[in-house]
Amino acid sequence: MAASFSLAGKTALVTGANTGLGQAIAVALAEAGADIAAVGRSSAADTGRMVEAAGRRFVEIRADLGDPSIVGDVVDEAAAALGGVDILVNNAGIIRRNDALEFTEEDWDQVMNVNLKSVFFLSQAVARHMVEKGKGGKIINIASMLSFQGGIRVASYTSSKSGVAGLTKLLANEWASKGINVNAIAPGYFATNNTDALRADETRNREILARIPAGRWGAPEDLGGAAVFLSSPAADYVHGTVLAVDGGWLSR
């Protein structure tokens, strides 16, 4: 059974892998046997050290995914460095907070470009590579609790993550026959820089914790098992799912 979850000989492109959820996912994939290409705007040196400590190769690609026109170059660079891309994890994301009455076009566009537009075009570029190689592959998108709920004061984030859930299903429909599995993970409330404002607000922090049956914020490492599963042969017949890793939030 362990072989079903092995990623030995695989290569993974992980966006936003310099910290937080992306870093935890990249390290988990490396510990399962995958070589890692990390994409981000800032240094992923800490991630690189952890990946290499797991005995895997690591390549860092500096890129601003707010400019989706660069995604083809990103995929080409990763494939050239590692000999191909077998797994794509679309983790990079940003958030902007404001009342809907005051929300700006700039904050709307910045979030949508990173969180949704780049997800599609990175997936397209990687899928073209996978189809050309004829060996299929795995694509994992990072959705959100706000793929299911509305939230407040995060209009572009909610819209982008709802779009990620829908896009995951569409791509699964189109690419399953090509041997490409497209799925998503929807993290619940995790302790990352994206949730600093919520955790610093005593009232919101208390309200959120009161609803989570597990009784705590998620740690980035809590996503590792789900990412390894969806990247592995164990998930070969899993297509178009949005897997909640939320401490039971949606069940409450």
**Ordered domains of the chain (ranges, CATH):** 2-191+219-244 (3.40.50.720)
CA distance 57 to 82: 8
Active site residue 157: yes
Is the pLDDT at 149 greater than 70, yes or no? yes
E strands in the chain:
11-15, 35-40, 58-62, 87-90, 137-142, 180-187, 242-245
User: Is there a contact between 140 and 123 (Cβ–Cβ < 8 Å)?
Assistant: no
Is the pLDDT at 1 greater than 60, yes or no? no
Q: What is the mean pLDDT of residues 207-233?
A: 96
Query: What is the Cα gyration radius of the chain?
Result: 17
From the list 121, 157, 229, 249, the catalytic residue is 157
Whole-number pLDDT of residue 2: 65
Total-model pTM? 0.96
User: Which pLDDT tens digit goes with each residue over 37-72?
Assistant: 999 999 999 999 999 999 999 999 999 999 989 999
